[in-house]
Amino acid sequence: MADKYKAILQTELQNNDLPQSAKMVLDYLDKLKNFPLIIAITGESGSGKSTLVNALRGIRNRTEGAAPTGVVETTVEPTEYVHPEMPNIRIWDLPGVGTTNFTADKYLEYVGFEKYDFFIIVSSDRFRENDAKLAKEIQRMNKKFYFVRSKIDHNVRDEKEENPNFNEEDLLKLIRDNCTKELQTMGFESPKVFLASGVRLHLYEFEDLWKTLKEELPKLQRDALLLALPNISANVIEQKKKTLERKITWLSVASAAAGAAVPVPGLSAGVDLSIIVSCVIQCAISLGLTPGLLQKLSDVTGVSLEDLKAELKSPLAGVKITSALVLQVLTRSAAYILATTVEEGARLVPVIGTVVAMSLSCATTYKALKYILNTLAEDTQRVFIKALGLNSPV
């Protein structure tokens, strides 16, 4: 899709149709922002699937908007949960197939299998025959599914109580091997099982699940999931930064084509402040640096909001982002942005390399947004380390 838009955009720019060029870029970015991703999570009663639904949405159990959790089956019918910050991400909490009166094929028909992009099958102890039948039926219908063995933190805690000197890696290998053998006896030749804690996604193998999804999902779905994903590792934060950098390139083209002036001393007049503000807001949301998201992180981790905010250096982190505030930051940083822009010029954005008059404006917007993104990403890494009680960067 990006290549098609780039080719059309080059034609529009060469024809000097700048308003149409700006509109086309913004339409493309709007498609990226709103591209739907629908995830189905299913498992037997008490498996921890509702906790996983909440964790993926950055919400603590038993708080407002959370999927209900408990020791008995709390999901009696398919229930949709919209991501609180990114409404294009929708997670469905499905009842376990064993808690219904349906066979695997009728169950998928009941829950409307065709609307889901992929399924996560969750178990807290062992995968059952119903799980295997469901997986095979999903596979038959050409959908992706992933096995997640949940509540690993409970297993580690229980083992530690019995034997303080136990080896955690040995325990994890034992659990993984047992799950693999169970699924092999059910007809899966080389099943991949991901060990996870729904309460602590940064532990164990949830990032391995993300890496697998990254390889198997189409690009637009992959980017949508990445930007909605909680900050589970320093690597994921870095991947978010790179994805946002690519969006910055397109926004810079739109800004230059729009040609809206903003009075920032030392910066090009062709900088569209509204585009920059919109991008900064999106960066803050994706990186978890809005006031609301920092509060949710505090709720989930138990680290006080004040301690998390103490790690913030950027004036755009942990606050309500307004045009006036962004303009103030740009004004303070104008000398740096202009100095680094002159060196790069039009080559920053190859798509408009033939439009010399726009090159400096585009490069200026790009450098301004990249400067802001870098400072926000650095704050995110510091907050991540503080929230998890780490002593050094990971």
**pLDDT on residue 272:** 67
**pLDDT on residue 352:** 43
* Residue 265 and residue 331 in contact, taking contact as beta carbons nearer than 8 Å: yes
Hey, what long-range contacts does 211-218 have (CB within 8 A, 24 or more apart)? 212/146, 213/118, 213/146, 216/144, 217/117, 217/118
**pLDDT on residue 345:** 45
**pLDDT on residue 91:** 97
* Residue 337 and residue 267 in contact, taking contact as beta carbons nearer than 8 Å: yes
Q: How far is CA 285 from CA 69, 227, 240, 282, in A?
A: 26, 9, 11, 5
Segments of the chain scoring below 50 in pLDDT: 12, 260-263, 269, 343-357, 392-394
Eight-state DSSP code of residue 17 = -
Structural domains of the chain in order of their starting residue, each with its CATH number: 2-33+233-387 (no CATH), 36-228 (3.40.50.300)
The structure tokens 């700048």 sit at 18
**pLDDT on residue 348:** 45
Beta bridge partners of 213: none
Q: What CA–CA distance (Å, rounded) separates 238 from 334?
A: 25
**pLDDT on residue 285:** 96
Q: Is the pTM of this model over 0.75?
A: yes
**pLDDT on residue 71:** 55
Q: Concatenate the DSSP letters of all residues of 140-179 into one string.
A: HTT-EEEEEE--HHHHHHHHHHH-TT--HHHHHHHHHHHH
**pLDDT on residue 74:** 56
The structure tokens 């990445």 sit at 226
